[in-house]
Amino acid sequence: MNINKSNPLLLHPLNKWMKKKKWFWFPHQIETFQHVRSGSDVVVFAPTGAGKTLTGFINPIDDLIKLKKFKGLHTLYISPLKSLANDIMRNLEKPIKELDLNISFQVRTGDTTPYKKQKQKQKPPNILITTPESLALLNSYENAKEFFYNLKYIIIDEIHTFLDNKRADLLSLNIERLQTFSPNLQRIGLSATLKNKQDAKKWLCRKKPKIVSYENSVLPKIKILESKERIPWSGHMATYSINEIYKEIMQSKLTIIFVNTRAQAEYMFKNLWLINKKKLKIAVHHGSLETNLRLKVENNLSKGLVDCVVATSSLELGLDYGDVEKIIQVGAPKGINRLLQRVGRSNHNLNTPSKAILVPTNRFEFIEAKAAIEEIKKNNLDKIDLKEGSFDVVAQHIFATACAGQFEINDLYKEIIKAYPYKKLKLNDFKQLINLIQDGGYVLKNYDQFKRIFQLRENKNIYKLVNRRETRKYRMNVGTIIENPMLKIKLGTKTLGNIEEVFIQNLSQGDSFIFAGQILEFQSMKNNLVQVKRSKSLISKIPSYSGGRMPLSTNLANSVRALLAKSNMWDLYPEQITEWLKRQKNISKIPKKDEYLVEQFPRKKNFYTVIYTFAGWHANQTLGFLLLRGFKEFNYKPLGFVANDYAIVLWSLKEVKQIKTILNLGLLDKHLDNYLEETSIVKRLFRDNAIISCLIERRLPGMEKTGKQVLFSSDLIYTVLKKNEPDHILLKSSYEDAKKNMIDYDRLREILKKIDKKIILKKLTSISPLAVPIILEINRENLSKKEIDEYILEDLENEILKEANVLSIN
Amino acid sequence: MYYQLINFGNEEFHAYPDKSLYWKRLNTLIVSDLHIGKSISYAKNKQFLPPYDTKEILSKIFVSLDKIKPSNLIIVGDLLHDVFSTLSLKDQDHKNLSQYMKNTDFIWIKGNHDKNIQIEGFKNFTNYKIDKLLFTHIPIETSLFQICGHYHPKVKISHRGKTIFKTCFIHNEKIFILPSFGILTGGLDIHNKQISDVLGKNNLSIYPVGQDKVYKL
């Protein structure tokens, strides 16, 4: 790296330490230092290994040394993960200890003991490393203003993970609060490389906004696993290539295998274990494992004590595992940014390329993997779409504000709309959210005598908490991450981790399942603990975890389309893929980059319509439901549909003759409301909204409420509210959330806007090669929850009647 | 409305999907655990449930009364959620109730939630005996057949890889438990100790309540 003669960092207190380590300052560190010193808010974009963490601390440390014995909190460091916070702490400790600098620094997360938290409040360190949730809590204390009034810097680490979700909303509101407490506060964001850097800047920066960017010139080496086996038509488990994956692990020192779901992680781990003749040390790591087990794996990984770890996104962020030589991505990459983040886990060193192998689990994924590699060569990253902030988070913030002391609503409103996600928050919606916190915000004013916050008689614009007891309820509900109802798994007295309650409900005593890489037998469930013992059973279930299914990014989807259409490339693919595409071309058609292929053919008495949208799973799922309604309207007697990232297939009793008339923007406008009402999407989001907005409690003080109970009562509330007060702010909020997240509304709209002119309709006599993968996926039920309930009851009753030889009882 | 025929205590009953039970021979409608005013009593603890439960429960019961026109309405306990619940009964509700009382005899058996509460014009009892049947909120020691409430029974049904929970009517040879007629009332798994202590584990007849139909398992 070049050393700048006029480098101002040569005078920095850390320079001595850098010299001792034989490290040099990066240009982006110098640039950041200068911008921040001249009063700018800055977002720094740099790849891992480019000293990002240090970059954030350069100005604070310089400042603290100059100020000499600064009393109180000077710098706040926000990390997206608790584990990362501890890691940062250790990294910061090294130079400060070795140089014997007079700077105090501590971590504060959900894991910090109450005693230590109390101490921190009385005597804050100069630098506090924390999470968005802990920051929100700090801001809800009565002395928050005194605690933060002298704050000089806030550093947001991995800011790219905070741009498009409710956690981002919560963080943005709390940053604005800090700015109110300490108007001179400067903001520093640290981010992985992004396509839309300007958006990150808009989100964070207020004062003389600046972007500092450092691009890595060494491209990662990524290839697709060359398999002698046939890549299957469909499926997600990569069983076909397990021996070849094993060979790859043997050939490198340390490998991380990334998969897309927890179920895949358990499955891959089990399959590797079955063929582990060389007794390699293989571990599994995912978000449901008990913290201690997870930490143990992480520890072994950083010390190089394992040969391979099978992991989900749980190992994607931050932490530096120097010796990882190779990354294997099993399954579709889904997005460029995500793949890069994962690939970047190997060779945490800027000058040597990261090495990665992609293992497609089916044929479409092969094309997707190929496309991803092309895009990475072109450095064409995915865009992160900033979203408008959610209402429920504002409600929680209002409650937090009331906990900290009385507040004036106009002041609060003005502060909130400074936060980027809430720029467009309407005063009227804000007032409804105030009412929501006050007494539920119902039109029927029944709860006058039971308010949570009330208006002062002398000034109606000032609200105050009714009594201090309520602060405890806020603290129980803080945060925006709502897990599905989970139960703890106990092997003897040892906790293995958490498992979804729904999965356990489907087990009977004696059933075995795989968790934490072990085959376990379900014994009993008591007091929300699932007791298990080790099992030698060969047949075992794998718990599935709902949510977390990432749709194919628009960017990568476009690239997949472009690649498919490039027939001159096909000969470079494995023979079976080439064959597959050629046959498709002969029998039907390969759509061009901007075309939408629709195939129709009869099969087993039904009529099939396949639409290749490449719109990602969420949007395709929505489109499937809408088309189902459209087909009904035209009396084609549709029976069902299945969607994946690439396509949708619908089957009906009658031939669908007017697909072009149905498939357009009108479909969305006409049926979306019905769709949202019929499926449980909004209902499920309502539960999150009710908890985040503190309408219902996550846990009641003194008694652990199980997830089941929360789910149950929020469903009842939803039904009653929907019937009696359809305009209630929380219903509006849930509906907006659905549009933003679950149904990919904007993406679908974009496609439908232009689709009618670009449909290529192919009437076939039988199934096409391209349609085979999705047709094979037809086995899931596509009925609404209500229908499923009735179906199960009906079916069970009939079976019992048959058994009893009774035809009918009514 | 479709009903499910249930034989209990040598009598025939009709179970309706609105969670009411009808005893045709004596033209008597039976409901349990309405928990009127649950929302308002939760609001006292700053849990702001939608304040529409009372309105909905009453209209549900009025629909049923209009349709069946029973001579008697037996409420097997927990008509009200607690002392605060009476706040949610408006003047109009009282007027409507007394209108219905002209043609139907209201028999209010006290439950654990409403044992110390009075409503003007309502007769109340700790339990009520008709022939060999005893109506009581919580079962007692007796040789009579008992019809009770209190437990809000729900049954877990696992079938073809799916599991659902459904509110249900349930009885053994001697004891019959009604589901809750309320709107914001939760339920208790019939395998929970509280229920199995009362009904035992064998020879149970279970009737899950579906959308428009009561099923039989």
CATH number at residue A133: 3.40.50.300
Residues A513 and A583 in one domain: no
Mean pLDDT of A289-308: 87
Strand partners, B82: none
Contact A743, A735 (CB under 8 A): no
Looking at the fold, whether A156 and A209 belong to one and the same domain comes out as: yes
| Cα→Cα distances A682→A195, A251, A622, A689, Å | 31, 49, 13, 10
Minimum Cα–Cα distance from B37: chain A residue: A446
Nearest CB among B47, B56, B161 relative to A697 is that of B47
pLDDT in tens, A325-357: 899 999 988 999 889 889 888 876 777 788 999
| A797–B217 CB contact, under 8 Å | yes
A744 to A553, A617, A624, B33: CA distances (angstroms): 11, 9, 13, 43
Query: How confident is the model over B170-193, as a mean pLDDT?
Result: 92
* Residues of chain A positioned with their CB less than 8 A from the CB of B49: 440, 713, 717, 720
Which amino acid is residue A323, in one-letter code? D
Biggest CA-to-CA distance, chain B:
51
| A460-482: pLDDT as tens digits | 999 999 999 899 989 988 998 87
- C-alpha span between A276 and A271 (Å, rounded): 9
**Inter-residue contact B32 to B178 (CB < 8 Å):** yes
Amino acid at A196: N
Contact B159 A810 (CB under 8 A): no
Is A774 part of any domain? yes
> Which is higher by pLDDT, A194 or A502?
A194
pLDDT of residue A711: 45
Average pLDDT over residues A167-183: 97
Which tens digit of pLDDT belongs to each residue from A549-582?
A: 678 999 999 999 999 999 998 988 998 899 899 9
Query: Is the Cβ pair A452, B2 closer than 8 Å?
Result: no
**A363 and A422 housed in the same domain:** no
pLDDT at A801: 58
Supply B133's token pair.
Answer: 């049947």
Q: What is the largest CA-CA distance in chain A?
A: 95
User: Are residues A492 and A583 both part of a single domain?
Assistant: no
**Per-residue model confidence as pLDDT tens digits over A41-91:** 999 998 877 888 899 999 999 999 999 889 999 999 999 988 788 888 988
Residue keyed to tokens 């007769």: B123
Per-residue pLDDT at A371 exceeds 80: yes
Domain final residue, candidates A193, A213, A233: A213
Residue A15 lies in a domain: no
Cβ pair A342, A327 in contact under 8 A: yes
CATH class held by domain B4-208: alpha beta
State whether A201 and A225 are in the same domain: no
Find tokens 């060569």 and name the residue: A377
Same domain, A206 and A344: no
Nearest CA among A77, A50, A74 for reference residue A62: A74
Report the SS3 class of residue A196.
coil
Q: Over the stretch B73-82, which tens digit does the pLDDT of each residue have?
A: 999 999 999 8
- A397 and A465 within one domain: yes
Beta strands at B123-125 and A105-108: parallel, antiparallel or unpaired: unpaired
Percentage of chain A modeled with pLDDT above 90: 53
Mean pLDDT over each residue of chain A, to the nearest integer: 87
CB contact under 8 A, A792 and B161: no
pLDDT band at residue A447 under the 50/70/90 scheme: confident
Q: Residues A809, A810, B1, B3: is their CA dihedral positive or negative?
A: negative
Average pLDDT over residues A724-751: 90
- pLDDT tens, residue by residue, B143-167: 999 999 999 999 988 876 677 889 9
Q: Do B55 and A724 touch (CB under 8 A)?
A: yes
Closest CA to A420 of A617, A175, A122, A203: A203
Residue A373 shares a structural domain with residue A275: yes
In sequence order, the β-bridge partners of residue B166 are B155
Residue in B48, B183, B211 closest to A439 by CB: B48
pLDDT at A151 over 80: yes
- DSSP conformation class of A607: E
User: What b/e string do you get for B83-98 counting C-beta neighbours within 10 Å, with b at 16 or more?
Assistant: ebbbbbbeeeeeeebe
Whether A797 and B51 lie within 8 Å, measured CB to CB: no
Domain boundary among A213, A247, A266: A213
List of chain B residues whose C-beta atoms are within 8 Å of the C-beta of residue A504: none
**Structural domain spans, chain B:** 4-208
Query: Is A701's pLDDT higher than 50?
Result: no
Which chain A residue is nearest to residue B206, measuring alpha carbons?
Answer: A797
Amino acid at A525: M
For residue A270, CA distances in Å to A267, A275, A295, A458 come to: 5, 9, 21, 68
Closest CA to A187 of A8, A418, A381: A418
| Domain range enclosing A450 | 391-480+684-736
Q: Is residue A382 part of a domain?
A: no
What is the model's pLDDT at position A131?
95
Tokens at B159, concatenated: 């079938």
Taking CA atoms, A247 is separated from A251, A434, A435, A533, A574, in Å, by 6, 60, 62, 32, 20
pLDDT interval class at A322 (50, 70, 90): low
Angle between helix A554-565 and A363-377 (nearest 10): 100
Q: Residue A1 pLDDT more than 50?
A: no
Question: If residue A171 lies in a helix (H) or strand (E), which one and from where to where?
Answer: helix A166-181
A603, part of any domain: yes
State the alpha helices, DSSP H only, in A483-616: 501-505, 554-565, 575-587
Q: What is the pTM of this model?
A: 0.88
- Specify if A455 maps to a domain: yes
pLDDT digits (tens, 9 = 90+) for A600-632: 999 878 899 999 999 998 899 899 989 999 999
* Residue A366 located in a structural domain: yes
Average pLDDT, stretch A232-236?
A: 75
| Tally of structural domains, chain A | 5
Do residue B44 and residue A795 have CB atoms under 8 angstroms apart?
A: no
High-pLDDT (> 70) share of chain A, %: 91
Q: Does B55 touch chain A (CB under 8 A)?
A: yes
A192 with A48, same domain: the answer is yes
Q: B140 and chain A: CB distance < 8 Å anywhere?
A: no
> What's residue A779's pLDDT?
58
Lowest mean pLDDT among A147-156, A380-389, A547-556: A547-556
CB A200 within 8 A of CB A160: yes
Q: Which residue has the higher pLDDT, A439 or A703?
A: A439
Residue A707 clears pLDDT 60, i.e. is over it: no
| Residue A307, in any domain of the structure | yes
Chain segment A762-788, per-residue pLDDT in tens: 999 988 989 988 887 775 444 455 555
Residue A2 in domain: no
Partner residue opposite A447 with nearest CB, options B43, B52, B208: B43
Predicted confidence band of residue A4 (pLDDT cuts 50, 70, 90): low
pLDDT at residue B14 greater than cutoff 90: yes
- What's the rounded mean pLDDT across residues A746-763? 91
pLDDT at A708 over 60: no
Tell whether A469 and A524 lie within a shared domain: no
> pLDDT band at residue A704, thresholds of 50, 70 and 90?
very low
Mention every residue, 6+ apart, whose C-beta is less than 8 A from residue A654. Answer: A607, A635, A636, A637
Q: Which residues of B touch A800 (CB under 8 A)?
A: 216-217
Beta-carbon separation of B5 and A786 below 8 A? no
Residues of A in contact with B160 (CB under 8 A): 792, 795
Q: Is the pLDDT of residue B8 over 50?
A: yes
Give the confidence band of B200 by pLDDT, cuts at 50, 70, 90: very high
* Identity of the residue in A470, A709, A794 whose CB atom sits nearest the CB atom of B46: A470
Q: How many CB atoms lie within 10 A of CB A738?
A: 22
B159 vs A491: which has the higher pLDDT: A491
Instruction: Find out whether A519 and A479 touch, Cβ atoms under 8 Å.
Output: no
| Residue A139 identity | N
pLDDT in tens, A792-803: 666 666 666 565
Please indicate, yes or no, whether residues A703 and A764 belong to a single structural domain of this protein.
no
Contact present, A552 and A645 (Cβ < 8 Å): yes
Q: Residue B18: what pLDDT? A: 96
Asked if residue A355 and residue A269 are part of one domain, the reply reads: yes
The closest CB to that of B40, out of A446, A712, A713, belongs to A446
